[in-house]
Structure 1
Amino acid sequence: MTTRKIPHGLYYEDFEEGRRFDHHWARTFSESDALWYANMTMQYNPIYFSAPHAKAMGYEGILVHPLFAFTTALGLSVEDLSEAGGPFLGIDDLQFRRPVYPGDTIRSGSVVVSRRATASRPGWGVVEWTTIAVNQRSERVLEFRRRNLSKMRDAAKGV
């Protein structure tokens, strides 16, 4: 039996500066998600697992850990931005704007900020995006800049 390769993702040429992507998936966080993440990552700050303590600190209840919200927003962008592969080059200017609570649903969107061909790696370019995540009330919860190497179309075809 042979399998057929199905190409996924976009190439360097698809990322024109200013192009906007509204990532179509969203993620609702449950209380179990928040508690699981806090336990698995040993987050011993009680605002992540004790509702009375979180309320005493001025929050509505326990919080979804900000890094859980961030990695979720990043993950929501992968299908549109980096599914075709290419090394991840980092995150800059990560800003947490407001708390995420169990029951909140976040969605994200990205804009191409810049792109440039690389001299050191022919057939590849560096693409940078700004990604913003909002909750179900369209309130901005976080934002960041991200860069990846992205393969050029001709290089992917073997030209």
Structure 2
Amino acid sequence: MTDENSHDKTERNRQLATGWQGRYFEDFEIGDIYKHPYGRTVTETDNVWFTNLTMNLNPMHFNEAYAAETEFGERLVDGTFVIALAVGMSVIDVSANATANLGYDDIRHHAPVYHGDTIFAESEVVDKRESDSRDHVGIVTTELRAYNQRDEKVLSLERTPMVLKRSYADPSAAQPTGWPEGVGTQPGDLE
């Protein structure tokens, strides 16, 4: 006997549903702007760990007494952490199907980032072209911009990945990008 809240597999129409597969080269259009999902609040731990991991010895990032005497009055978040965070936020829209990143250019820090700031990022497609040496990819250049919760631009840079063309990709609901063949629920499991 089953009740209405039962998870009885025979009463449901189960199917593998395809999720977001990322953009392929053909999906990019010059002028498109992608507002990347999810803001991320930067914590003190993020800053201290990243500063220590990268051996950034500027006391502005890890010495509260020192930083309190500067024009900022407190520690600043390591700028390379802000770059890494903004680039990471953009992957879902820009480079989930990249085969390589060719460059990061014109990097500018427009305003400081403090512990507790929430960062948001967007990318604008500024150029795209066929690869001269590889038929399976194209080259896309985006301007990546990051803002804090006060709508202050804190970072901008140009990012250029090689992005896979759709005809060379073969993702499916049973084997999405990054999953080895045969892992997890397979079509035969649903019969």
Q: TM-score scaled to structure 1, two decimals?
A: 0.90
Alpha-carbon separation, structure 1, partners of 2:136 and 2:86: 29
Structure 2 spans left out of the alignment, 5+ residues: 1-16, 171-191
Instruction: Confirm or deny that 1:122 pairs with 2:122.
Output: no
In our comparison, the structure showing a higher alpha carbon Rg is: 2
| Cα distance in 1 between the residues matched to 2:62 and 2:169 | 47
Paired residues in the alignment total 155
In structure 2, the partner of 1:131 is 144
- 1:9 shift after superposition: 1.1
Partner of 2:126: 113
Counterpart Cα distance in 1 of 2:18 and 2:99 = 18
Separation in 2 of the partners of 1:5 and 1:23? 20
In the alignment, structure 1 residue 14 sits paired with structure 2 residue 27: yes
Structure 1: distance between partners of 2:18 and 2:103 = 28
Equivalent pair of 1:7/1:84 in contact (CA under 8 Å): no
Unaligned runs of 5+ in 1: none
- Which ranges of 4 or more aligned residues in structure 1 deviate by more than 4 Å? 4-7
76-85 or 35-44: bigger deviation: 35-44
Give the alignment of 1:17-96 within 5 angstroms: 17-96=30-109
Alpha-carbon shift at residue 44 of structure 1 (Å): 1.8
Instruction: Tell me the alpha carbon deviations over residues 71-120 of structure 1, each in whole angstroms, 9 at most, x when there is no partner.
Output: 00000000111112321111000001111110101010000001001231
Matched residue of 1:137: which SS? coil
Q: State whether structure 2 residue 166 is matched by structure 1 residue 153.
A: yes
Contact 1:12–1:153 (CA<8 Å) still a contact in 2? Answer: yes
Amino acid paired to 1:142: L
TM-score using structure 2 length: 0.76
State the partner residue of 1:97: 110
RMSD: 1.8
Which one-letter code corresponds to 1:53 in the other structure? Answer: Y
CA distance in 2, matches of 1:50, 1:154: 52
Percent of aligned positions that are identical: 38
- 2:186 aligned partner: none
Structure with greater strand percent? 1
